[in-house]
Amino acid sequence: MASAWAIAGCFAVGLALAGISRLHPLMVEAHEAEQLSAGAFPTLELNTGPRSRLSHRKNWLGKVRLAEHTEILVLAGHADSQAMAGAGTPGDAVDNQGAMPMQDGMRDELYWNLLTAQRIVLLGRQRGLNIRFYDPAAEDPALRSILDGEDPRTNWSVGRRHSEQGGYALEIHYDAYGDHGFGSGVIPRVRFGQTVVDEALAAEFGAFPSDFRGVLGAPERGITMLEIGKLEGELEHSLRDPATRDAALNTIADRVVRTIATALGIPQPQFATTVSPPLPLASPSGRPDGLPYPSAASGDAG
Ligand SMILES: [Zn+2]
């Protein structure tokens, strides 16, 4: 039920891109797309689907305050657990519509978790956040599968150390499609207590109870999880369609960064954007292979 929204802005991305010295192979595509956009920051109207159906069971209140310059660590969910239990959702397109995975050897959820996390960091830096990305397999593809969760290189271990040192760790996820998933929302960190950033993200995306599934491994270690939405319908189509992918990632990242920055009290003028008129809700029907799709009906398919 996340309301459709549209924001268009114009931000230079070239400088920030130049600051990324080691691009993950997965970034090549997005990198090229951004070069093509030549300094523009295209966004689109994007319905991320239903909010968590457990939002009414939110049993926590984020009160821990964080300083404006608090270092934010962004992680991609399942980045260290491919080809094993807990690899993430394949998504509706692959499981039910005969689509090919976005990348061999990787669940689609991780593919989008990586691109989304990287875009959040890129945009966050442009807007003055102290924010960075960690990928266990950035230098060694073998680290896509780390069997021991307590290995010092896992998301869990790196995120736990970050929170212990006073930072804020956020792990990006997409939820399962249909009845397997719950919708967009925050599964807040338990260790070190919920923060004002968790509270703001929950207001924006929805919430899960803090003891969801008996307290998950990440929240137990001080890492907040954010489900962007179920990997299905309009959200998945917008990401998979090369014509809308870049704008979809921008739109999602903008929403996350704006929410975090506001919660940290970072001055608003840095976030001034031009709000575009709403796009028409009805569009020509199409298919998930890159052609237009009906934007109003497909987002709530689960
Ligand atoms: Zn996940």
Classify residue 83 by burial, with Cβ atoms within 10 Å: 0-12, 13-18, 19+: exposed
Instruction: Specify the pLDDT at position 41.
Output: 77
Residue 11, C-beta contacts closer than 8 angstroms, at least 6 positions apart: 39, 41, 123, 126
Please report, for the chain, the start and end positions of each structural domain, with discontinuous segments joined by +.
14-300
Q: Please give the Cα distance from 94 to 89 (Å, whole number).
A: 10
User: Do β-strands 185-187 and 223-230 pair in parallel, antiparallel, or remain unpaired?
Assistant: antiparallel
Q: How close is the Cα of 10 to the center of ligand 1, in Å?
A: 31
Q: What is the mean pLDDT of residues 108-137?
A: 96
Q: Which residue has the higher pLDDT, 201 or 11?
A: 201
CA distances from 259 to 81, 84, 162, 232, 266 (A): 28, 33, 21, 24, 10
Q: How far is the CA of 276 from the centre of ligand 1 (A)?
A: 32
For residue 45, report the distance from its CA to the centre of ligand 1, in Å: 24
Ligand 1 centre distance from Cα of residue 90 (Å): 10
Mean pLDDT of the chain, nearest integer: 82
pLDDT tens readout for residues 243-296: 999 999 999 999 999 999 999 999 765 555 544 444 444 433 433 333 333 333
* For the chain, percent of residues with pLDDT exceeding 90: 72
Q: What average pLDDT does this structure show over 173-186?
A: 97
Bridge-based pairing state of the strands 223-230 and 168-175: parallel
pLDDT at residue 141 in the model: 95
- Tell how far the Cα of 109 is from the centroid of ligand 1, in angstroms: 7
Architecture of the CATH domain 14-300: 3-Layer(aba) Sandwich (3.40)
Indicate the pLDDT class of residue 166, thresholds 50, 70 and 90.
very high
Q: Rounded to 5 degrees, what are φ and ψ at 207?
A: -145, 155
pLDDT given at position 291: 36
pLDDT at 62 over 60: yes
Q: Examine the pLDDT at 82 and tell me if it is beyond 60.
A: yes
Residue with tokens 């709000």: 275
Average pLDDT over residues 50-71: 97
What does the alpha-carbon distance between residue 78 and residue 113 come to, in Å, rounded to a whole number? 8
Task: Compute, in angstroms, the gap from residue 175 CA to the centroid of ligand 1.
Answer: 6
Residue scoring higher pLDDT (26 or 196): 196
**What is the Å distance from ligand 1's center to 115 Cα?**
14
